[in-house]
Amino acid sequence: MTMDPTRFNREAKPTWCPGCGNFGIQNALKKALNALELEPHQVLLSTGIGCSGKISHWINAYGFHGLHGRSLPVAIGMKLASHALTVIAEGGDGDGYSEGMGHFIHACRRNVDITYLVHNNGVFGLTTGQVSPTGDQGFVSSTTPHGALERPFHPLALAIGAGTTYVARGFSGDSERLAGLIADAVRHPGFAVVDILQVCVSFNPDKSYKWYQERVFDLDAEGHDPADRAAALAATEPREDGRLPTGLFYRAEAPTLEAGLPQLAGAPLVDHDIAAVDVAPLMEGLI
């Protein structure tokens, strides 16, 4: 059966700034979902607050637009409740690496079978460009008028160190390559992180499409082995020449959290009959 390639489109149009990298990410995500031959009712997007979080409004699939930094715990709950769903958490660097940092670390540890896409532009774009944890040292914004003092956070190194079993980086200006990484991440049985270098034309214009295109390269070109954890960690280190590696950094096999939970062995939560469950003993112990 031929699938309609427009099935993930919606009539509503995004309100992102013209030229925003989010358009490329949205395009790549729809391409990936099409390549995976999924239907809209099989996909659930859990998004946080920020320009990136609004993507759930503009893709024809189930969506939950939650609180700032909270897309991951919601996504984990969704996957544990209904294993058949393809669950994708999505947010920005401010959303996921600032407010949501604690959730990010523990999601890496737990290895639930979900995919996490992070729109990484170095600023809090929705609130007019304050520096985020991945922003450059010295970056001038309304909250850092004399320049950011902190060194930027490197999320891929933390993801690998915390136990993530699929770690990749894409670029919003290369939707074809990004679509392939997203599809590969969704296929991976476990927690998959795709950090996406995203252009913010309004509040971080120095890092333009041209700026990235002159610096990004694919790790495949260097013969990188994603099964080598030490090499993957080394690849996350900033390059002295300023080049930015993209592609698959690390992949490993490990049991998913849901595979080890006895209460989910027979069926996901959504298929359990809870009519006869007596919570009285639990309540007595808590009160």
Tell me the CATH number at 95: 3.40.50.970
Contact between 53 and 224 (Cβ < 8 Å): no
- Residue 1 domain flag: no
Which phi and psi (to 5°) does residue 226 adopt?
A: -70, -10
For residue 5, what pLDDT is reported?
Answer: 85
Q: Which amino acid is at 154?
A: H
- Tell me how far the alpha carbon of residue 286 is from its chain's centroid: 36
Q: How far is CA 5 from CA 33, 71, 72, 100, 201, in A?
A: 10, 27, 28, 34, 29
Alpha-carbon gap, residue 118 to 25, rounded angstroms = 10
- Residue 3 domain flag: no
For residue 264, what pLDDT is reported?
Answer: 86
Question: How many domains does one find in the chain?
Answer: 1
Alpha-carbon gap, residue 55 to 11, rounded angstroms = 13
- Residue 15 domain flag: no
For residue 129, what pLDDT is reported?
Answer: 87
For residue 268, give its domain range: 21-253+262-286
- Residue 8 domain flag: no
- Residue 6 domain flag: no
- Residue 83 domain flag: yes
Please list the ranges in the chain whose pLDDT falls under 70: 1-2
Q: How far is CA 202 from CA 121, 129, 132, 211, in A?
A: 11, 8, 15, 15
**Maximum separation of any 2 CA atoms in the chain, in Å:** 64
Alpha-carbon gap, residue 271 to 52, rounded angstroms = 32
For residue 146, what pLDDT is reported?
Answer: 95
- Residue 183 domain flag: yes
Q: How far is CA 56 from CA 61, 259, 264, 273, in A?
A: 8, 28, 28, 30
Q: Which of 173, 156, 174 is nearest to 251 (CA)?
A: 156
- Residue 224 domain flag: yes
Q: How far is CA 269 from CA 86, 178, 252, in A?
A: 15, 33, 27
